[in-house]
Amino acid sequence: MVSNPKAAEIFRGIADLLDVMGERFKPEAYRRAARSIDSLTEDLAAVAGRGDLRSIPGVGDAIEEKLREYLASGRVDYYDRLQKDVPAGVAEMLRIPGLGPKTARRFWVELGIEGPAELLTALDAGRLVGVKGFGEKKIAQIRSAVEAHRAGGSSARLPIAEAYPIALALVRGLREGAGAERVEVAGSFRRGRETVGDLDLLVTTEEAERAFDVFSALPQVKEVRLRGGTKETVLLQNGLQVDLRVVEPAAFGAALVYFTGSKDHNVQIRSLAKDLGLRVNEYGVLRGEERVAGRTEEDVYQALGLAWVPPELREARGEVEAAARGPLPTLVGADDLRGDLHVHLPSNADPDSVDRLLAAGRERGLAYLGVVVVTVDRDGVRSALPDSLRTHLRNASGPQLRTFEVGEFGPAEDPSSPTGDRRPPEWWVARPTKRSGPLQPPSDARGRVFLVAHRGLRDLGDVRGVAAWNDFARKLGAAVEVGPGEDRLDSTWARQARESGLRISLPTGVGESPDSPTGPIALRFARRAGALPSEVLNAEPQPPISGAAKP
DNA sequence: GCCGTTTTCGGCCCGACTGTTTTCAGTCG
């Protein structure tokens, strides 16, 4: 079965092999195409069907040809042939931190080493001693990296919701301990990607050394990887890598742009700068040696003739061209959210928990709360909240903060399956249902506030699955909920949903701890999808319950 | 291999850090 992620994987494989073969620019070209394919909200076969493959950034004649071949046969001959030329283990050596294409190639060609296992054997036999370019330190470094790699080093990307509290704690530690004036988390965390590979922290301070000392001593930090005059890299206890960079205030905006990325976005604005006779780096926008911008991000973009681009959109998907035409539409923000359509009470909730939740809602200035009282699953309707609490909830609701009951309905695991199989939407529609609860989608008027929630689509890039669920939401007249669940596809889902006219619902995290990722991360995902306030159901001042229903 | 309202050829981001070099190569982000 062909799929977008598999196609991207093949191109990344080609890139690795070309790297080892010493090609200069082709590897990056194939990787660029792979990244573009990963960020598609549409199935490749559908794009090909329209004859539109060339519209994918980074896809030209040669890659279009290979995509067609892949879609027709599931294979790419060029990749198969490359794999015959280069042993798989040589490409795998590229996965070892600190080992790049040049070194991997030298090991292979000069020493006949064809993979990490053989490299370790060679190290044990002392075969690297005396080889030009490999001193004592380098050999020790390689050995430790190979061993970590062989032990299954934790190089996997972390879901952003898990990185969120860690990032908050590090920022807090730096602010309190190092007297840092300004601390920001940049990188893919700031762009709101579903997963992060590392964290990039930027600080302004007069005392870089002190900031590094404080940072290294934080309890989350396991070891210092490298430390220079402006940059420190550490490894956290949980295996996450964190880069800390000290920048001067006059360059903070430029550094923030630079380290927020994405790489493709940076490349695009740099080449634009070049056309204008300017140069962009992390210190500013430069004309010759003169810095013409750098203090704020707005300055930097303005100096390039661009409107400021929200970090969540910096993926080289047309945002630079749009920013050249004029200001971008204002994306949904935290202040736009007037209510929450999906609030859970704990399973051991009592009247006090209900009161605390309502107090939290009022404190946030929310006008309404939709509290989950039933979950609709395979057996029809399951109650999640006892009748006594439902009565308490109704009575406690007032004019400042209205409450109403909502049901949950989504691609949850099939509870009857021991392996937790996911069921396609059709299965839910066709299922025998007892229809015994208060909410009976899709005929009930209140079905309009049904949310198709975010569980169950774990495979990154499963755009077909996403499309099926969005179609399902449309049939129900439901909004699509975006949030930092276990799933990793939410911004793809949300983008596809809003492009097809569906509305989005955003959880606010009301009633959760202040460090909870729910609200902030949901918002980032929605912004990443390009959501405007008008496209978000709970940005409406009134709750969208029956009576308010549109025809 | 891709890309182009100044290009269909000749470019392709750029600086920090490390280690092994005595002026630079490789890797990384």
A102 Cβ within 7 A of any nucleic strand B atom:
yes
Question: Which residues 163-192 in chain A have a CB closer than 7 A to strand B?
Answer: 187
Query: What phi-psi label fits residue A273: left (phi over 0), alpha (psi between -120 and 50 degrees) or beta?
Result: alpha
What pairing do the DSSP bridges indicate for beta strands A221-227 and A279-281? Answer: unpaired
A225 Cβ within 7 A of any nucleic strand B atom:
no
A139 Cβ within 7 A of any nucleic strand B atom:
yes
Could you tell me the domains of chain A? Answer: 4-150 (1.10.150.110), 158-246 (3.30.460.10), 250-325 (3.30.210.10), 334-539 (3.20.20.140)
A305 Cβ within 7 A of any nucleic strand B atom:
no
Which residue's alpha carbon is at the shortest distance from the C1' of B19?
Answer: A138
A101 Cβ within 7 A of any nucleic strand B atom:
yes
Question: Which residues 7-36 in chain A have a CB closer than 7 A to strand B?
Answer: 24-26, 28-30, 32-33
Task: Write out which nucleotides of chain B lie closer than 7 A to a protein Cβ.
Answer: 1-3, 6-7, 11-21, 25-29
Which residue's alpha carbon is at the shortest distance from the C1' of B20?
Answer: A133
Percent of chain A, pLDDT > 90?
40
A270 Cβ within 7 A of any nucleic strand B atom:
yes
Q: Return the ∠ at Cα A404 (arms to A403 and A406), rounded to 5°.
A: 135
Could you tell me which residues are beta bridge partners of residue A359?
none
What pairing do the DSSP bridges indicate for beta strands A479-481 and A504-505? Answer: parallel
- Output the distance from A246 CA to B10 C1' rounded to whole Å: 37
Query: pLDDT tens digits for A347-360?
Result: 788 889 889 999 99
Per-residue confidence (pLDDT) for residue A184, from 0 to 100: 94
Q: Which nucleotide is nearest to A198 (CA to C1')?
A: B29
| Distance, CA of A139 to CA of A400 (rounded, Å) | 68
Query: In this structure, is the dihedral angle defined by the CA atoms of residues A89, A90, A94 and A98, taken in order, positive or negative?
Result: positive
Per-residue confidence (pLDDT) for residue A114, from 0 to 100: 92
| Distance, CA of A9 to CA of A34 (rounded, Å) | 7
**pLDDT, mean over chain A:** 82
A227 Cβ within 7 A of any nucleic strand B atom:
yes
Q: Return the ∠ at Cα A347 (arms to A434 and A482), rounded to 5°.
A: 75
As a 3-state breakdown, chain A gives helix, strand, coil percent values, each rounded to 5, of: 45, 15, 40
Q: Residue A269, Cβ neighbours under 10 Å: how many?
A: 22
Per-residue confidence (pLDDT) for residue A158, from 0 to 100: 86
Q: Residue A473, Cβ neighbours under 10 Å: how many?
A: 25
| Distance, CA of A180 to CA of A232 (rounded, Å) | 15
- Output the distance from A269 CA to B11 C1' rounded to whole Å: 16
Q: Which nucleotide is nearest to A241 (CA to C1')?
A: B29
Q: Which nucleotide is nearest to A286 (CA to C1')?
A: B14
- Output the distance from A43 CA to B11 C1' rounded to whole Å: 33
Show pLDDT as tens, one digit a residue, over chain A (551 residues).
888 889 999 999 999 999 999 888 899 999 999 988 988 888 899 999 999 999 998 999 999 999 999 999 999 999 999 999 999 899 999 988 889 999 999 999 999 999 999 999 999 998 988 888 888 889 998 998 898 888 765 567 788 889 999 999 999 999 888 777 899 999 999 999 888 889 999 999 888 888 999 999 999 998 888 888 888 999 898 888 899 999 989 999 999 999 998 888 888 888 888 878 888 888 888 887 788 889 999 999 999 889 999 999 998 888 888 888 889 999 999 999 999 988 888 778 888 988 999 999 999 999 999 887 766 554 555 566 778 888 888 888 777 888 877 766 554 444 444 444 455 555 444 443 333 333 334 333 333 445 555 444 444 345 666 777 777 777 767 777 887 765 556 677 788 888 888 888 899 999 999 899 999 999 999 999 999 999 999 999 987 664 332 22
What residue spans of A21-135 are helical by DSSP H? Answer: 26-38, 44-49, 61-73, 77-85, 88-92, 101-111, 116-124
Show the tokens assigned to A220.
Answer: 């989350």
A74 by DSSP, 3-state: which?
coil
A543 Cβ within 7 A of any nucleic strand B atom:
no
| Distance, CA of A406 to CA of A523 (rounded, Å) | 21
Q: Return the ∠ at Cα A66 (arms to A489 and A70), rounded to 5°.
A: 60
* Full-model pTM: 0.85
Show the tokens assigned to A438.
Answer: 């208060």
The residue count for chain A: 551
Torsion of CA A189, A502, A443, A432, to 10 degrees: -60
